[in-house]
Structure 1
Amino acid sequence: MSNCDCGDNPTDDLISIKDAKKILFDNASLIDDSEIVSIKNTTGRILSESLIAKISVPSFDNSAMDGFAFAFDGITDNNKKIPISNRIPAGKNPAKLDPNTVARIFTGACIPEGADTVIKQESCQYDNDNLIIKDMPKKCANVRYAGEDFKEQDVLIKQGAIIKPQDQGIAASTGNSNLKVKRKIKIAIFSTGDELLDLDEKISHGKIYDSNRYTLMGLLDNPAIEVIDLGKIKDDYNETKNTLIQAAKICDLILTSGGVSVGEEDYIKQAIMDNGKLNLWRIKIRPGKPLAFGRINNTPIIGIPGNPVSLFITFLIFVKPYIFHSLGATDFKQRSYKIPATFACHKLDKREEYIRARAVINNKGILELHSFNTRSSGVLTSTTWADGLAKIPPNQTHTINDLVDFMPFYGIL
Structure 2
Amino acid sequence: KQQLLEQCERRSSITSVNLASAVSHILAESISAPIDVPGFANSAMDGYALRLADLVENNQLKLIGYAFAGRPFNGQVETGECIRIMTGAALPKGCDCVIAQESTRAGGATQLHEMVEFLTIPERSQNIRPAGHDIRKDQPLFQAGRRLGAADIGLLSSLGIQQVATYKPINIAVFSTGDELQQPGATLNHGQIYDSNRSATIALLSDCGFIVRDLGNLPDDRTEIRKTLLDVSQEVDAIITSGGVSVGDADYLPELLQSIGALKLYKVAMRPGKPFAFGTINQCYFFGLPGNPVSSLATLLLLALPALRKIQGQSISEPNYFLATLQTQLQSRTKRLDFQRATLSTDKANHWQALPFANQLSGALSSMSLCNGFIVIDPDVNELAPGATVKAVLFDELIRG
Same fold (TM over 0.5): yes
Which residue, 390, 399, 411 being the options, matches 2:385?
399
> In 1, Cα distance between the equivalents of 2:296 and 2:12?
28
C-alpha deviation, 1:138, in angstroms = 0.6
Question: Contact 1:60–1:145 (CA<8 Å) still a contact in 2?
Answer: yes
What do the CA deviations read for 1:28-82 (whole angstroms, capped 9, x no partner)? Answer: 131341222222222221111112222111111111111111111233146x321
Which residue, 53, 78, 81 being the options, matches 2:33?
53
Counterpart mapping for 1:238-317 below 5 A: 238-317=223-302
Of residues 226-235 and 119-128 in structure 1, the stretch that sits farther from structure 2 once superposed is 119-128
Name the count of aligned residue pairs. 392
C-alpha deviation, 1:336, in angstroms = 2.2
The TM-score, its normalising length taken from structure 1, stands at 0.90
Consecutive aligned runs of 4 or more in structure 1 exceeding 6 Å deviation: 362-366
> In 2, Cα distance between the equivalents of 1:364 and 1:188?
46
The alignment's C-alpha RMSD in Å is 1.8
Aligned to 1:408: 394
> In 1, Cα distance between the equivalents of 2:44 and 2:50?
14
Counterpart mapping for 1:83-98 below 5 A: 83-93=62-72, 94-98=74-78
Aligned to 2:82: 102
> In 2, Cα distance between the equivalents of 1:70 and 1:360?
51
Q: 1:331 to 1:321 in 2, by over 3 A?
A: closer
Which residue, 111, 134, 144 being the options, matches 1:149?
134
Question: Contact 1:283–1:291 (CA<8 Å) still a contact in 2?
Answer: yes
Paired-residue identity, %: 32
> In 2, Cα distance between the equivalents of 1:226 and 1:289?
27
C-alpha deviation, 1:363, in angstroms = 9.4
1:185 is the counterpart of 2:177 = no
What do the CA deviations read for 1:281-314 (whole angstroms, capped 9, x no partner)? Answer: 0101011101000011121101000000100111
> In 1, Cα distance between the equivalents of 2:133 and 2:350?
41
Counterpart mapping for 1:115-154 below 5 A: 115-125=95-105, 126-127=108-109, 128=111, 129-154=114-139
Counterpart mapping for 1:335-354 below 5 A: 335-354=320-339
Q: Secondary structure at the match of 1:410?
A: helix
Question: Contact 1:156–1:170 (CA<8 Å) still a contact in 2?
Answer: no
> In 2, Cα distance between the equivalents of 1:188 and 1:348?
36
Of residues 200-209 and 265-274 in structure 1, the stretch that sits farther from structure 2 once superposed is 200-209
C-alpha deviation, 1:378, in angstroms = 0.6
Question: Contact 1:292–1:302 (CA<8 Å) still a contact in 2?
Answer: yes
Question: Contact 1:240–1:267 (CA<8 Å) still a contact in 2?
Answer: no
> In 2, Cα distance between the equivalents of 1:241 and 1:173?
51
The letter of the residue matching 2:67 is I
C-alpha deviation, 1:359, in angstroms = 2.4
Question: Contact 1:99–1:114 (CA<8 Å) still a contact in 2?
Answer: no
C-alpha deviation, 1:398, in angstroms = 2.3
Of residues 273-282 and 95-104 in structure 1, the stretch that sits farther from structure 2 once superposed is 95-104
The letter of the residue matching 1:69 is A
Aligned to 1:322: 307
Aligned to 2:8: 28
The letter of the residue matching 1:85 is I
What do the CA deviations read for 1:103-143 (whole angstroms, capped 9, x no partner)? Answer: 11111111111111111111112223111110111111111
1:218 is the counterpart of 2:203 = yes
> In 2, Cα distance between the equivalents of 1:30 and 1:365?
40
What do the CA deviations read for 1:366-387 (whole angstroms, capped 9, x no partner)? Answer: 6522111121101111111111
Stretches of structure 2 that go unaligned for 5 or more consecutive residues are none
Q: 1:162 to 1:333 in 2, by over 3 A?
A: farther
Q: Secondary structure at the match of 2:374?
A: strand
> In 1, Cα distance between the equivalents of 2:13 and 2:286?
20
> In 2, Cα distance between the equivalents of 1:364 and 1:139?
41
The letter of the residue matching 1:149 is D
The letter of the residue matching 1:305 is P
> In 1, Cα distance between the equivalents of 2:365 and 2:332?
23
> In 2, Cα distance between the equivalents of 1:321 and 1:223?
11
C-alpha deviation, 1:365, in angstroms = 8.5
> In 2, Cα distance between the equivalents of 1:52 and 1:334?
26
C-alpha deviation, 1:331, in angstroms = 5.7
1:64 is the counterpart of 2:44 = yes
Which residue, 15, 19, 31 being the options, matches 1:39?
19
Question: Contact 1:324–1:332 (CA<8 Å) still a contact in 2?
Answer: no
Q: Secondary structure at the match of 2:310?
A: helix
The letter of the residue matching 2:315 is T
> In 2, Cα distance between the equivalents of 1:363 and 1:59?
43
> In 2, Cα distance between the equivalents of 1:221 and 1:336?
25
Q: 1:344 to 1:268 in 2, by over 3 A?
A: same
